Amino acid sequence: MAAISRHQDLPVILHNDKRGLLTVEEGRLDVLQLSRDGRPPKRLLSTPIRNFLLAKLSNNKGKGLDQNRRLDLHTLGNPSGNSTSLKLTKLHVLVEPINVPEAEEWCENTMGLAYKGIKRNKKVLLLVNPVGGKGKAKSIVHDTVLPILQAAECQTDLRETTHRLHAEEITNSIELDYDVIATASGDGLVYEVLNGLASRSDAKKALKIPIAPIPTGSANAVCTNLFGVKDTFNIPLATLNILKGQTLPIDLCSVLLLPSLQRRFCFLSTALGLMVDLDIGTEHLRWMGDNRFLYGFLRGIANNKNCKTKIHLKVVEDDKISMARKARDRVKQRTIKDDKVWGGGTNPLVNGMNGLNISGSIGTKKSEGDGAKTPLPEDGHANGNGNGSTDTNDMITGASRVEGAEKEYVPDHGPIPDAKPLQPDSTWITIDSSGALPKSTLKRSSKGSLRGNRSSTVNGGNSINTQNAVKKGDWIDGEGVLYFYAGMMPWVARDLMQWPVSISGDGLIDVVVQSIVPRMMMANAITGAEKGEAYWLECQHYYKVSAFIVENLDKAKQSIFTIDGESFPWDTFHVEVHPRIANLLSLNGDFYVSDFLRKHDEK
């Protein structure tokens, strides 16, 4: 906000009848009490302008024109100076009749600065799950969320969910006149909202309504990705995001379940093996909050069970050093541009596009040519299956039509095309854990690397492994799979940054295949898991893919997998990406920048 210049100060009368001054300078609004004897003014309130909610001059109905007018000021102040202690503060002052025209102008200017480029008085659909997490959503919403929305004069339509999938039913049939859909629950409700919107006949229009989560669930991974580990459960900050967040386009995946051909949409993760057991197997421990996942993880590594599966991946990249470098370069570029956004009023949507070129691939110079396989064709699918639709995101395709600007651009508001079984070709790689060797056969280094015969099972024998020199961390036949985890955001919980190089809206899914290693090695990997350090373990195979298929090789013993933490019968499932088709709100227009990505100079 540094570039916001000082604008007019407004003289007022304070609650104690003393003279005061309202000033807006350097991105802060101050309420000053003036002294008569030349002493410096006393600061009664100081608030960042981006936390400011409302400046409203009362109308003078029933009062003479010569009467003082009341001016209400509402903000989310942080008395102790950190974002975790944001608190709704309301105060009012009086404006003398002679200063009323000036006060009207001051209010408009101040509100303009507080909501730069953002709509005021939003219409909010607020869905509240009374049983999510520790079951405190209702009281949190009534005590904290609603007062803030009211203080900003939002129009809030609150609906409590009464059963599973209720949020999906609601969003499948709502009028599309909301500015934002807020969910007071965990990731499960966001998943339901997205599925409700994405399965409509006007899905592409419906998915433009951004979603803003309020963290009253267990993991609330979306909130970790938006606000960081420390502020994951920061309710006032998440509520401020409803009011001031910028649109952040995200990818959705279609997950096609076979043999039923049921299709679900996924925005966060698909999981197999240990990661299923730790989530679904700990449902009865909701009272533990997100500690239940750590408990489940420890239990899983104690069992150290091989998940018998065949995984087919359409790999776009698998070089960990290159993937980390690209994600870090993007952050570097973004940080520079961020200053402009806060100070100069750049269109907020531009920020979410940073680092992506028109086709959605990562646009750093160095990446040209080596990240190569651009994942975003014009058909709305990243896998090239060609199911027919044109528009992936109006911002991208709209922009790409600038050359033929004389033709009027008509946005596609239609449905997401049906998902069809994918057809892998010889460029896909296959990982098969059915032939896992006894653990002793593969020698492991202390860093979790495996040394053995590399003869990766690959369709057509034409894999990236056999074409290129073998890279550190490639899959080795004979390994067992402890878990498979595919994700679209860096964090899956506060204590696990599973996909540290995930990039919002890049049209790619980050896949981790964790091979079975000695228990102690996995237990040690817990330290630093929240910082993404496990990324560098050689036993943690990491791929960026545009599509994948997973087969179950032991249906009797492993009957379920999860989509965004919800369990489904597992036979075979096919996954493809719809790039940037849905939207979240984010205070900085992107996911929270992790320390992992700030380490520009490492590796």
Ligand X SMILES: Nc1ncnc2c1ncn2[C@@H]1O[C@H](COP(=O)(O)OP(=O)(O)OP(=O)(O)O)[C@@H](O)[C@H]1O
CB 530, CB 497: distance < 8 Å? yes
- Minimum CB distance to ligand X smaller for 163 or for 443: 163
Q: At 584, give phi and psi (nearest 5°).
A: -110, 175
Smallest gap, in angstroms, from Cβ of residue 237 to ligand X?
A: 17
Question: Do the beta carbons of residue 58 and residue 72 sit within 8 Å?
Answer: yes
C-alpha R_g of the chain:
26
Cβ contacts of residue 588 below 8 Å, gap of 6+?
246, 338, 351
Nearer to ligand X, 163 or 284 (CB): 163
500 makes contact with ligand X (CB under 6 A): no
Name the nearest CA neighbour of 514 among 530, 495, 499, 494. 499
Closest contact distance (angstroms) between CB of 189 and ligand X is: 4
CB atoms within 10 A of CB 467: 9
Q: How far apart are CA 345 and CA 272, in angstroms?
A: 44
Query: How wide is the angle at C-alpha 345 spanned by C-alphas 92 and 115, nearest 5°?
Result: 30
> Phi, psi (5° rounding) for residue 288?
-80, 0
**Minimum distance from CB of 282 to ligand X (Å)?**
10
- Closer to ligand X at the Cβ: 271 or 513? 271
Question: What is the closest distance, in whole angstroms, from the C-beta atom of residue 283 to ligand X in the complex?
Answer: 8
Question: Which residues between 452 and 471 bind ligand X (CB under 6 A)?
Answer: none
Region of residue 587 (left: phi > 0; alpha: psi -120 to 50; beta: else):
alpha
561 strand-pairing partners: 568
Place of tokens 């999981």: 271
Q: How far is the CB of 234 from ligand X (least distance, A)?
A: 15
Closest separation between CB of residue 270 and ligand X, Å?
14
Residues in region 116-155 near ligand X by CB under 6 A: 129-133
Q: At what angle do helices 187-198 and 166-173 cross, to 10 degrees?
A: 40
CA–CA separation, 224 and 286 (whole Å):
18
Q: How far is the CB of 233 from ligand X (least distance, A)?
A: 11
Query: Which phi and psi (to 5°) does residue 320 adopt?
Result: -60, -40
162 touching ligand X, by CB under 6 A: yes
Other residues' Cβ atoms within 10 Å of the Cβ of residue 234 = 19
**How many binding residues for ligand X (CB under 6 A)?**
22
Q: How far is the CB of 238 from ligand X (least distance, A)?
A: 13
| Binding segment (CB under 6 A) for ligand X, from list 50-58, 183-191, 197-205, 391-399 | 183-191
Contact between 19 and ligand X by CB under 6 A: the answer reads no
Among 185, 546, 558, 588, binds ligand X (CB under 6 A): 185
Contact window for ligand X (CB under 6 A) among 156-164, 259-267, 348-356, 500-508: 156-164
Q: Is 385 in the site for ligand X (CB under 6 A)?
A: no
CB of 220 to ligand X, least distance (A): 5
Answer whether 603's CB lies under 8 Å from 322's CB: no
* Nearer to ligand X among residue 75 and residue 220 (C-beta): 220
Of the residues 164, 340, 451, 600, which one makes contact with ligand X according to CB under 6 A? 164
Q: How far, in Å, are 270, 396, 549 from residue 565 at the CA level?
A: 8, 30, 18
Task: Examine residue 274 and tell whether it contacts ligand X (CB under 6 A).
Answer: no
Residue whose CB is less far from ligand X, 295 or 342: 295
Closest CB to ligand X among residues 192, 576:
192
Among 22, 45, 174, 186, binds ligand X (CB under 6 A): 186
Tally of CB atoms within 10 A around 164: 12
Q: Which CB sits closer to ligand X, 219 or 353?
A: 219
Q: Could you tell me which residues come within 8 angstroms of residue 177 by beta carbon, excluding any fewer than 6 positions away?
A: 123
Residues between 206 and 225 with contacts to ligand X, criterion CB under 6 A: 217-220
Binding segment for ligand X (CB under 6 A), chosen from 44-52, 97-105, 184-192, 381-389, is 184-192
Residue 362 DSSP class: B
Q: How far is the CB of 139 from ligand X (least distance, A)?
A: 15
Smallest distance, ligand X to C-beta of residue 216, A = 8
| Interface pick for ligand X out of 187, 495, 576, 590 (rule CB under 6 A) | 187
According to the binding rule CB under 6 A, does residue 519 interact with ligand X? no
C-beta of residue 330 within 8 angstroms of C-beta of residue 355: yes
- Determine if 163 is a binding residue for ligand X (CB under 6 A): yes
Per-residue x/- track, 219-258, ligand X (CB under 6 A): xx--------------------------------------
Helix (H) or strand (E) holding 597: helix 595-598
Work out how close the CB of 327 gets to ligand X at its nearest, in angstroms, rounded to a whole number: 24
Length of the chain: 603
Nearest to 540, CA basis, from 456, 483, 478, 458 = 483
| 146 phi/psi in degrees, rounded to 5 | -60, -45
Site for ligand X in 550-589 (CB under 6 A): 565
Instruction: Catalog residues that contact ligand X under the rule CB under 6 A.
Output: 129-133, 161-166, 185-189, 192, 217-220, 565
